[in-house]
Structure 1
Amino acid sequence: MSEYENIRIESPITGVRQIILNKPEKRNAISTPMRTEILEALQTHDIDDDVRVTIISGAGDCFSSGYDLTSGGLMENSPLYSAPGDGQWTRQATDSWFSIWDLAKPVIAQIHGYAMAGGTELASACDLIYMADDATIGYPVVRVMSTPDWQFHTPILGLRASMEMMLTGNTYTAEEAVQVGFANRAYPPSALQEEVLAIAETVARVPSDLQQVNKRSVHRSFEVLGGRTAIRAAQELQALAAYQESVKEARKNPFKAIKEAFD
């Protein structure tokens, strides 16, 4: 397997690969190099006959704290082309996560600790999500900086739950995340890896040629209901947020603003 700087690849059981976000000292913040490596690894797994399903998890005390704002521009050496102009970054993020939807093989997110902001975007792009029952999710930066880049909330969580998350920036417990449809199930932290591997093993038993049709049938139905279009439409509003006076002020000192958002 290829060596990566920001992720680690393991083969816990036959037919299953595990991508581990491997920047625990930065709480697995998603930099452009990390995002590039995640997508590259997933695409490699998609054409590897020995792989039938991939799990994405995080090293250290959490899944991911969100996008890494300390490692240079998020558009620097991007893995995908995005048309320039207002909203370029949001288009880039949206295209990145849609590329996971469009893979042939299933991808599972395994969340412990917390998944915040961009971390929830990565997780929601996966086909299945399982959480430790003491884990939390949220998008606190809506309080100070912007709407989400990948606006999955309304089509996946529904109107009321997504509105509450957008207007308050509050976090959800694992139990709440399951109730609103963000996650499939929650397990005790000590059992999370074992339970997710058991599910992955079940998924891996289905032949890949059939499984990719199963996966696509769900996504195509979701698209017919307008899910992909809704996410695309909301991405354009993220660019509009940058023109709001309060956001302009917050972006003068983004790290201070983000710290306040999490308080």
Structure 2
Amino acid sequence: MTASTNTIAYEVRDHRAYITLNRPDRLNAITAEMAREIRGAVAAANDDSTVRVIILQGAGRAFSAGYDLKMYAEGGIDHQPEVWDPIQDFRAMKANTDDFFSLWRSAKPTIAKVRGYAVAGGSDIALSCDLVVMAEDAKIGYMPARIWGCPTTAMWVYRLGAERAKRMLLTGDTIDGVQAKEWGLVIDAVPEADLDGAVEKLADRMVSVPTNQLIMQKFMINQAYDNMGLQSTQTIATIFDGITRHSPEGRWFVDFAQEHGFDAAVKWRDQGRFIPDGGGELPTADEVATLDGIRK
């Protein structure tokens, strides 16, 4: 069985459902439509008695580069109205989070296959899977922790523990697949050329197990996370995500993007340039021109 929607492709073969994020021209950047279609594909795989394992991947050279925020930050859509409605914001972001987390709540086990980038919201999707296999040179991280975001799935702390989660989210740094494996964030990291084979080998071991057994083992493990307050942690993370985008610093970031372009704003953030408390003056054109890869 094969199918496609606006943002994903779906295929079933050999007791596996393959869900492919399919916006390669935008590095599989996330839209609300994509989030909903991920959830729909997960539901279809769970309803298919021939499927035992779900494999999630990205088309092209990246898993996902995060939310498609260029249109918001540069002003194509008014993302910061004069009066912010926090409940409307929460409902929208909670819906996306729940859609991503259908991978975790799925009765059938899920494997994320990561090449290129799984960053920002893309890391939320990858870390919602039960197991993550990365290419050694792939990058994972949540750069919006520096400004304009909080990871709504909260899976960094549940996978890494408090100290290493703080190391990632207090810096917004990315790490490669090798370090992600060393830290226990992902189950394996292999050379990019071996990634497809490594995921299939793992899936081979899993699809030989009866579906009932797979589901019971997964539900038992997930229950331990629920007992640790996973759902309430996600609620506060989603609230904080909305606040980060509507704080004075968040407004500063949007003004920066509208003045100099979203690419320049992201480079300022990700290259570790100083971000003032409470917003403050925007960088000058000359200062922006010093960013790596930015020209006047």
Per the normalisation by structure 1, the TM-score is: 0.88
Deviation at 1:88, TM superposition (A): 2.6
Deviation at 1:243, TM superposition (A): 4.0
Match of 1:176, SS state, is helix
1:248 aligned residue? 251
Describe the shift of the 1:231–1:155 C-alpha distance in structure 2 as closer, same or farther (beyond 3 A).
Answer: farther
Alpha carbons 1:155, 1:230 under 8 Å: kept: no
The 1-side partners of 2:205 and 2:222 are apart by 20
The 2-side partners of 1:31 and 1:227 are apart by 24
Q: Deviations over 1:180-203 (max 9, x none)?
A: 222111111111101101111211
Say how many residue pairs are matched.
254
Deviation at 1:71, TM superposition (A): 6.4
Q: Deviations over 1:213-232 (max 9, x none)?
A: 11101100121133333233
2:202 aligned residue? 199
2:16 aligned residue? 16
1:169 aligns with 2:168: no
2:63 aligned residue? 63
Higher relative contact order (CA 8 A, sep 6+): 1
Amino-acid identity (%): 31
Structure 1 residues 85-124: aligned runs within 5 Å: 85-124=88-127
Describe the shift of the 1:222–1:129 C-alpha distance in structure 2 as closer, same or farther (beyond 3 A).
Answer: same
1:5 aligned residue? 6
The 1-side partners of 2:180 and 2:248 are apart by 32
Where structure 1 has 5 or more consecutive residues not aligned to the other structure, the ranges are 76-82
Where structure 2 has 5 or more consecutive residues not aligned to the other structure, the ranges are 80-85, 272-296
Q: Deviations over 1:35-62 (max 9, x none)?
A: 2221111100101011111101111111
2:189 aligned residue? 186
Describe the shift of the 1:218–1:90 C-alpha distance in structure 2 as closer, same or farther (beyond 3 A).
Answer: same
The 1-side partners of 2:205 and 2:71 are apart by 38
The 2-side partners of 1:235 and 1:6 are apart by 24
1:78 aligned residue? none
Match of 2:50, SS state, is coil
Alpha carbons 2:35, 2:96 under 8 Å: kept: no
1:46 aligns with 2:46: yes
2:293 aligned residue? none
Out of 257, 266, 272, the residue aligned to residue 258 of structure 1 is 266
Q: Deviations over 1:112-159 (max 9, x none)?
A: 111110100000111110001111101112222122232222222111
The 1-side partners of 2:28 and 2:244 are apart by 26
Out of 140, 156, 159, the residue aligned to residue 156 of structure 1 is 159
Match of 2:178, SS state, is helix
Match of 2:19, SS state, is strand
Alpha carbons 1:19, 1:57 under 8 Å: kept: yes
The 2-side partners of 1:176 and 1:60 are apart by 23
Alpha carbons 1:31, 1:71 under 8 Å: kept: no
Deviation at 1:246, TM superposition (A): 1.3
Per the normalisation by structure 2, the TM-score is: 0.79
Paired AA for residue 241 in structure 1: T
Match of 1:246, SS state, is helix
2:286 aligned residue? none
Q: Deviations over 1:80-129 (max 9, x none)?
A: xxx94452333223222232222111111000111110100000111110
**Which moved further from structure 2: 92-101 or 207-216?**
92-101
Moved over 6 A (4+): none
1:135 aligns with 2:138: yes
User: Cα RMSD over matched residues?
Assistant: 2.1
The 2-side partners of 1:134 and 1:193 are apart by 14
Match of 1:252, SS state, is helix
Describe the shift of the 1:257–1:219 C-alpha distance in structure 2 as closer, same or farther (beyond 3 A).
Answer: same
Match of 1:229, SS state, is helix
The 1-side partners of 2:14 and 2:102 are apart by 25
